[in-house]
Amino acid sequence: MTDSIVIRVPATTSHVGVIRAAASALAARLDFTYDRITDLQIAIDEVCSRVLATSNPPATRLEVVFQVMSDGLRVTTSGDSPSTGSTFLNRWSEMILESVTDEMEVQQRNGTAVATFAVARRVAL
């Protein structure tokens, strides 16, 4: 069984910092390396910014679910508003997320983009 932590905040850029801080504290408690905590922060920033940029009408709430896994964290992020017809991840976002996450998936649920990514505690050698 995995532990889950759910954070819901207003959908503003200033509240993304709250999510990033919570993610960092959780990762530190789970003995993530400093580099992997930084990767997690970058992924949180990128995915949350894409939720804010692609919601139409603008999302009023961001929801982030952290699942504690045996080897790291799985993070699912969504807004409370449908996504626009544009692609959720642009090429730049894909490149960023490919470099800092171990897995990345975007699904549409009821017209809303739901992004899920995983970050392991340590980089596999």
Residue 104: give its domain's CATH number: 3.30.565.10
Q: 45 is in which domain, residue-wise?
A: 3-120
- Predicted pLDDT at 2: 66
- Could you tell me the two tokens for 100? 């800092």
pLDDT of residue 24: 97
**Model pTM score:** 0.91
Q: How many CA atoms lie within 13 A of 78 on its CB side?
A: 18
The answer to whether 88 and 55 have CB atoms below 8 angstroms apart is no
Nearest to 47 by CA among 116, 120, 122, 108: 116
pLDDT tens-digit map of 27-65: 999 999 999 999 999 999 999 999 998 888 888 999 999
Question: What was the pLDDT predicted at 67?
Answer: 97
pLDDT reading at 124 higher than 80:
no
Average pLDDT estimate for 77-88: 80
Is 125 inside a domain boundary? no
In a domain, 52, yes or no: yes
Domain count for the chain, please give it. Answer: 1
